[in-house]
Amino acid sequence: MKHALKDMTVAEFRDRLPEDPVILLPLGSQEEQGPHAPMGDYQLAEAVALRAAELSGAIAAPCLPFGYAEFFRGFPGGIQLRAATFCAVLEDMLGAFLDHGIERLLILNGHSTNAFLIDQVARKLRRERGVAIASVDLWRAIPDSLWTRLYGDKAAAARGHGADPLTSLAMYLQPAAMRPDLIRPSAKGRALGLPMTGVAGISFGEMPVGLPLNADEVNPDGMMGGDAHLASAAHGEAIFTELTRSIAKLVAHLKGCDMRDPLAREGAR
């Protein structure tokens, strides 16, 4: 049985429709991940979606490889969509399934900055089409218990843009594309004479202050948090296994839900 929509003929996909399949829609980004990891991190979300589909019987749609990543424009090689463009493309992707009565849709978001735009689109479609569309923010869905098991008291130090989870996942899924010799330390700069907390702002004592910063201003290597030296292919395999199994369980649960009536009792159709 095929699980990637891109590999199916229209006849094969049509034959699957009577089973009311769950469609997984992976989203990602083409952006820097530090000097040591491939920029096409959307490939990680795509791999998670395909493996989760294989485990659950779902179908993985092609990945939208570009996201809303305005603050990464300072790095060459990235491809950013404007917020309005991202929302329009996502709405069209989802609408292409809804137009055919395919309503069990699960977004797998591999670029966290997409999240608030995904929420906007999902609310619009529920209001206009009557279907509730679920989504998972992949890298934030990794349980704290797994971070602790893998990294112990260094769990907080391992997490961050340019470090884990994406560096370990890439080491596991794309080892030939990695350049571990180029790993750089993570350090944030200062703006307005105050320490940066990231692209979203600065810190005035204990008060967070919003300030629109660019990623290359925060760190010229794109290492905005976390120690990539703590990453490993073994950690990546554990993260991949946890995510794909959890998503497969969610798919099984959604099969018993009415996406037009999310408040209905479980199993009610």
Tell me the torsion sign for CA atoms 121, 127, 133, 136: positive
| Separation CA 84–CA 80 (nearest Å) | 12
| pLDDT over 90, % of the chain | 96
- pLDDT (tens digit, 9 = 90+) per residue, 199-242? 999 999 999 999 999 999 999 999 999 999 999 999 999 999 99
Give the global pTM. Answer: 0.95
pLDDT tens, residue by residue, 25-58: 999 999 999 999 999 999 999 999 999 999 999 9
> Most distant CA pair in the chain: distance in Å?
62
Q: Which residues of 210-227 are buried (b: 16+ CB within 10 A; e: fewer)?
A: eeebebbebbebbbbbbb
Residue 269: the pLDDT is 43
**For residue 266, what pLDDT is reported?**
59
pLDDT band for position 77 (cuts 50, 70, 90): very high
Rounded Cα–Cα distance for residues 236 and 146 (Å): 11
pLDDT of residue 118: 98
Given a cut of 50, whether residue 268 has pLDDT beyond it is: no
247 CB neighbour count, 10 Å cutoff: 25
Which sign does the torsion angle of CA 49, 45, 133, 99 carry?
Answer: negative
* Alpha-carbon dihedral sign for residues 56, 62, 68, 71: positive
In this structure, the number of other CB atoms found within 10 A of the CB of residue 240 comes to: 19
